[in-house]
Amino acid sequence: MAEEFPYKIVTLPDEENEQIKRDFKGYISGAVKVEPLGYFFQGIYQDYAHRYYTLPVRSTDVFVASYPKCGTTWTQEMVWLLVHNLDYEGAKCRLDKRFPFTDEDSVIDSRTLELPGIKKLDVQPPEPGKFLDMVLTLSDPRCLKTHMPFSLLTPGILDTCKMIYVARDPRDVVVSYYHHHRMWVPLGYNGDFKMFFNYFLSDQVMWSPFWSHVREAWERKDHHNLLIITYEELKADLSAVTLKVASFLEKKVSPTDLTKLVKHLHFDSMKKNPSVNAEVHATTGFCDAREGGFIRKGKSGGWREYFDEPMKVEFEKWMREKGKGLEKEFKWLP
């Protein structure tokens, strides 16, 4: 018998929910939290929670998991090429087709594409459940992206398949996530950075709370099927992280292969690579290119240009209080 979903999904109080629907016009179904950890989603998550929790996983699967904006796409491109023995020809196919996002159905509410005020699109709205169906029919070895924390994924997933978890300094995450919310037209966020900053700190953006998400991965760091990497490590030494990931995936990479792969994964090449930069969505109206695109700045520490002094103090306090030492483990704070 399929496992029961063991958590309680609660709708936010009416007033909060109405405010969120005003600020995020794409959240037609409002917002919910999954107790006890309080993971925040659009209401449509309820239609998929059980399917995510019981997703059949295979021993050949490789997951890339993260809280959003931590360097998921960067890691996916690396992982896909390593898994597929550096098939650069195959990598010309769009990343979201080769490396599907298991949670996608609960991110873009298909009804948003019909809303007035949301740019008219020349594409058909996706059928609900379409993305999960695609994941189920993919042939082996599947490379799958998820932003779900461990507790909302198939229990014991690491006993079946490998996962690479990417984390990033939350100060850079909040900036990147802000642009992401303005960029994805169907999410309908038109507010300023300060307002988004407040939503982030109160764990009211999708897949938050950030620290519970990261902590769930950290608690499993010694599992032989989990590799945790950070955006900052990728930036500091892409070759070293690539070799670490290759070894984790039991793939051999020659020095020549490594040079080529690192060049392919460099920010400048990824920024202009149409198979990973999601530029196709700009032509469909899904994506507002003025927000810098999906491969945007690619820097560590860019948050300094967004935070004023009080925001800096408030965020650091939040990192120390909620991080409970993880902010130091990840070297985000001294």
Among residues 29, 42, 73, 146, the one that binds ligand A3P under rule CB under 6 A? 73
Among residues 65, 70, 206, 311, the one that binds ligand A3P under rule CB under 6 A? 70
Residue 120 phi, psi dihedral angles, 5° rounding: -65, 135
Count of residues of this chain found to bind ligand A3P when the rule CB under 6 A is applied: 19
The H-assigned helical ranges of the chain are: 14-23, 49-53, 72-83, 95-98, 130-137, 170-183, 193-201, 210-218, 231-236, 238-248, 255-265, 267-271, 280-284, 309-323, 326-329
Query: Using alpha carbons only, what angle is made at residue 224 by residues 222 and 229, rounded to the nearest 5 degrees?
Result: 65
Among residues 298, 315, 319, 332, the one that binds ligand A3P under rule CB under 6 A? 298
Q: Interface with ligand A3P includes 220 (CB under 6 A)?
A: no
Please state, in angstroms and rounded to a whole number, the distance separating the CA atoms of residues 277 and 95. Answer: 9
* Minimum gap (Å) between residue 305 Cβ and ligand A3P: 11
Residue found under tokens 């898994």: 83
Handedness of CA 66, 129, 117, 32 (dihedral sign): negative
**26 in Cβ contact with 187 (< 8 Å):** yes
Q: Interface with ligand A3P includes 71 (CB under 6 A)?
A: yes
| Distance linking the first and last C-alpha atoms of the chain | 48
Among residues 187, 296, 315, 323, the one that binds ligand A3P under rule CB under 6 A? 296
Q: Which is nearer to ligand A3P, 12 or 205 (CB)?
A: 205
Q: Given the rule CB under 6 A, which of 48-56, 72-80, 129-137, 308-316 is the region that contacts ligand A3P?
A: 72-80
- Residue among 147, 179, 180, 181 flagged as catalytic: 147
Q: Given the rule CB under 6 A, which of 9-17, 192-200, 289-297, 322-330 is the region that contacts ligand A3P?
A: 289-297
Q: Given the rule CB under 6 A, which of 20-28, 31-39, 131-139, 265-273 is the region that contacts ligand A3P?
A: 265-273
Beta-sheet strands, E only, within 147-231: 162-167, 226-230
Q: Given the rule CB under 6 A, which of 2-10, 70-78, 87-95, 157-165 is the region that contacts ligand A3P?
A: 70-78
Residue found under tokens 């169907």: 186
Among residues 17, 191, 267, 273, the one that binds ligand A3P under rule CB under 6 A? 267
Residue 24 phi, psi dihedral angles, 5° rounding: -120, 90
Pairing outcome for strands 162-167 and 62-66: parallel
Subset of 137-176 contacting ligand A3P (CB under 6 A): 172, 176
Q: Report the Cα 251 to chain-centroid distance in Å.
A: 25
224 is catalytic: no
Among residues 25, 33, 69, 142, the one that binds ligand A3P under rule CB under 6 A? 69
Cα-Cα-Cα-Cα dihedral of 170, 173, 178, 184, to 10°?
-140
Subset of 173-212 contacting ligand A3P (CB under 6 A): 176, 179
Q: Which is nearer to ligand A3P, 16 or 279 (CB)?
A: 279
Please give the residue ranges that form the binding site for ligand A3P (CB under 6 A).
66, 68-74, 172, 176, 179, 265, 267, 270, 295-298, 302
Give catalytic residue positions.
Answer: 147
